[in-house]
Amino acid sequence: MKLSLVFALSLLATPALADWQQTLDAARGQTVYWNAWGGDARTNAFIAWVGEQTKAHYGVSVVQAKLSDTAEAVTRVISEKAAGQDEGGSVDLIWINGPNFLAMKEQGLLHGPFVADLPNARYLDLGPTSPASVDFTVTVDGMESPWRLARFVFSYDSARVAEPPRTMAGFVDWAAANPGRVTHPDPSNFMGATFLKQALIELTPDASALQQPVTDAAFDAATAPLWVWYDALRPNLWRGGETYPANESVQQQLLNDGELDIAMSFDPASTAAAIADGLLPDSARVFVPEDGSIGNISFVAIPYNAANAEGAEVVANFLLDPETQAHMQNIEVLGSFSVLDPARLDDAANTAFAALPTAPALPTLAELGPTLLEPHASWMTRLTEEWARRYVK
């Protein structure tokens, strides 16, 4: 008994954890500027809550710099590098993934690797193929830390639509029968691009090709059926496919206004949350294509020149705390699914997750079906460029 205690204490004194105490000390009193998309009131409220908690527990304040596009934060870091400001940068923490992560990682604009230093990283499955280790097929290499799980889902008003499309291919017939009642966000927006990717994965002859970096030949072969599908769909889109909502929030508002019958989201709980907020009718429900839908993980990263990198690490670690994740998954708070590996949690934590409240419009994990892997980030860039080349006149 005594021996094991000594053993445990010696474990605690391993360099990584000793370093963590240093990080905590350095972080105390810092104010972390968390650059995060600000279009969702519940996310903003959650971030504010995180700030209250880290302030109380670690003396770290959090201020959300609300972005209308994550790329704004990337540009800011680049401008700072352009001006030679390699220290004391204005961005401490970014809600990031996909192409923005790829761009910052390639440009050497990130601090890290730091994820392995976070004590709560022990609850993550960091195996080489785990979703927490691969962001759009780009290896994370400890340069960004996961915080919420995203699954692509559609929402619709069950009072107006009896039968939503069951596959992406089915959208063509559905739109032909209901012209002008469906659309997708502008593909220059993340969600619009995801709609195209979701269709691409379903329609492409060999989905595994999408996991490799894109080449000209592979792109033409893989996307040919997609364009045929899209050319058939587009004339029956909202506004004849001449214009698109800026993002999924605007599209959700159009669903609420009755201008559209279908909206989409990267958050399975968003529909139930919107109903609770009075932003969608009570009859709104969620559906996913039969073969599953794209899922990914939202990360936080720290720029190389962050003024408050230690504080940012403390926040990243706090986000991985099982209690934080359970609070976040609560439909009354945010409703985002946890990124933690249930197998690595203790019973108490698992019970806490199981006891979370539910809602009619909140799908169960079973209803969401299989998770499809994001294509390599280079596909998304090519896909949106090609879409713009074809359809932006």
Partner 1 sequence: MSHDGRLLRTAVLVVVGLGLIAPIAIGLWQTGRAAFGILPALGQDMVSLGPWHELADLPGFATSLRLTLVTGIGSTLLSLVLATGFCATVHARMNTSAGARMLTPFLAIPHAAMAVGLAFVLAPSGWIARMIAPHAGWDRPPDIATVSDGWGLALTLGLMIKEVPFLLLVILSALSQIPVARHMAAGRALGYGRGIVWIKMIMPQVWPLIRLPVWVVLAYGLSVVDMAIILGPSNPPTLAVAVTRWFSDPDPLMILPASAGAILQAVIVGLAVAMLMVAEAAVKRLGRWWIRRGGRGSSAEPGLWAASALVMALMAVGALAMVSLVVWSMAWRWSFPQLLPESWSLNPWSSAQDGWMRALSNTLLLAGATVGLSLGLAIAWLEGEDRARRSRAPWAEALIYLPLLIPQIGFLYGLNVGFLQIGLSGGITAVIWAQALFVFPYVMIALSDPWRALDPRMIRAAAALGAGPGRRLWAVKLPVLIRPILTAAAIGVAVSVAQYLPTLFMGAGRIATLTTEAVTLSSGSDRRVTGVYATLQAGLPFAAYLAAFLIPAILHRNRRALSGASAT
Nearer CB in complex with partner 1: 160/166: 160
Q: How far apart are CA 265 and CA 25, in angstroms?
A: 39
| Binding of partner 1 by 39 (CB under 8 A) | yes
From the list 162, 98, 93, 157, the residue with the least C-alpha distance to 314 is 93
| Binding of partner 1 by 230 (CB under 8 A) | no
Query: What does the block give as tokens for 44?
Result: 């903003």
| Binding of partner 1 by 154 (CB under 8 A) | no
Q: What are the φ and ψ backbone dihedral angles of 95, each rounded to 5 degrees?
A: -80, 115
**Contacting residue, 133, 247, 308, 338, with partner 1 by CB under 8 A:** 247
**Contacting residue, 26, 63, 209, 221, with partner 1 by CB under 8 A:** 63
**Contacting residue, 218, 250, 356, 359, with partner 1 by CB under 8 A:** 250
**Contacting residue, 49, 53, 103, 291, with partner 1 by CB under 8 A:** 103
Q: What is the CA angle 55-79-99, rounded to 5? A: 80
| Binding of partner 1 by 40 (CB under 8 A) | yes
| Binding residues for partner 1 restricted to 257-286, rule: CB under 8 A | 257-259, 274, 277-279, 281
CA distances from 49 to 25, 42, 67, 146, 340 (A): 22, 10, 18, 18, 20
Element (H, E) at 377: helix 377-391
Q: What is the CA angle 240-231-248, rounded to 5? A: 55
How far out from the chain centre does Cα 302 lie?
16
| Binding of partner 1 by 44 (CB under 8 A) | yes
Nearer CB in complex with partner 1: 166/234: 234
| Binding of partner 1 by 82 (CB under 8 A) | yes
**Contacting residue, 49, 59, 61, 78, with partner 1 by CB under 8 A:** 78
| Binding of partner 1 by 211 (CB under 8 A) | no
**Contacting residue, 107, 139, 212, 351, with partner 1 by CB under 8 A:** 107
Select the span of 32-40, 124-132, 213-221, 308-316 touching partner 1 (CB under 8 A).
32-40
**Contacting residue, 20, 238, 266, 379, with partner 1 by CB under 8 A:** 238
Minimum gap (Å) between residue 189 Cβ and partner 1: 9
**Contacting residue, 47, 74, 193, 362, with partner 1 by CB under 8 A:** 74
Q: How many residues bind partner 1 (CB under 8 A)?
A: 69
Nearer CB in complex with partner 1: 353/391: 391
DSSP summary character for residue 68: S
Minimum gap (Å) between residue 366 Cβ and partner 1: 27
Starting at the edge strand found earlier in the chain, the sheet holding 153-157 runs: 262-265, 153-157, 284-287
Element (H, E) at 382: helix 377-391
Question: Rounded to a whole number, what is the distance in angstroms from the first to the last CA of the chain?
Answer: 74
CA distances from 37 to 66, 70, 191, 263 (A): 5, 6, 13, 19
Task: Judge whether 33 and 63 are in contact, CB under 8 Å.
Answer: yes
Q: How far apart are CA 381 and CA 52, in angstroms?
A: 37
Contact characters 337-366, partner 1, x per CB under 8 A: ------------------------------
| Binding residues for partner 1 restricted to 287-316, rule: CB under 8 A | none
Minimum gap (Å) between residue 181 Cβ and partner 1: 8
Query: What does the block give as tokens for 96?
Result: 């990031």
Q: How far apart are CA 241 and CA 254, in angstroms?
A: 15
Binding site for partner 1 (CB under 8 A): 33, 35, 38-41, 44, 48, 63, 65-76, 78-85, 90-91, 99-100, 103, 107, 160, 179-181, 186, 188, 238-239, 242-244, 246-247, 249-250, 252-254, 256-259, 274, 277-279, 281, 381, 385, 388-389, 391-393
